[in-house]
A = this chain, B = another copy of it.
Amino acid sequence: MTVMQSTTAAPIEQQSPAPADICSAPPRRHPRPEGQDRYTISEVVAFTGLTAHTLRWYERIGLMSHIDRSHTGQRRYTNRDLDWLDFVTKLRLTGMPVADMVRYAELVREGETTYPERRELLEQTRRDVVSRIAELHDTLSVLDRKISFYETGGN
């Protein structure tokens, strides 16, 4: 195994079949260890619950900037990368399409000049999230009404 310094490698733990529900969070199997800044792909798999295939795919489509490599060409993810992955995961569960996230990633890569555009994008996303939360609250109250109906044995 090509495992980094101190980390105990994730046990085999087969890659999840992942029913691909866009709107729910990934399993997040392991906490991220402290005091480390270079993770192998299999470690990232363990942390995020994404598959190696997906991680490479993210990089390919530009959702992640080029990941650092070891001298032998293997990916070494940094904490920064993991933070980004966390962020992406959050965006993903707002229902934002991957293409939009890629757009945002591009803006980040373009540097400080894109601050206003990035802000605009995030504010739009924020509005979406707020309205989605409202919808879900709505749904919740419908559910509660139905549930209480069933609770009373259906009056």
A residues with a Cβ closer than 8 A to B are: 21-25, 87, 90-91, 93-95, 97, 112, 115-116, 118-119, 122-123, 125-126, 128-133, 135-140, 142-144, 146-147, 150-151, 153-154
Contact = CB atoms under 8 A, between A and B. Distances in A.
Contacts of A128: 24
B23 A95 contact: yes
Interface residues of A, dominant DSSP: helix
A22 B22 CA distance: 9
A63 B154 CA distance: 22
A25 B130 CA distance: 13
Contacts of A133: 133, 136-137, 140
B136 A93 contact: yes
A71 B104 CA distance: 55
Contact of A87 (B90, B93, B123, B142): B142
A151 B118 CA distance: 10
A84 to B, nearest CB: 12
Contacts of A122: 143, 146-147, 150
Contacts of A125: 143
27 contacts: A21-B95, A22-B95, A23-B23, A24-B132, A24-B135, A25-B135, A87-B142, A90-B142, A93-B132, A93-B136, A94-B136, A94-B139, A112-B154, A115-B150, A115-B153, A115-B154, A119-B147, A122-B143, A122-B146, A122-B150, A123-B147, A125-B143, A126-B140, A129-B140, A133-B133, A133-B137, A133-B140
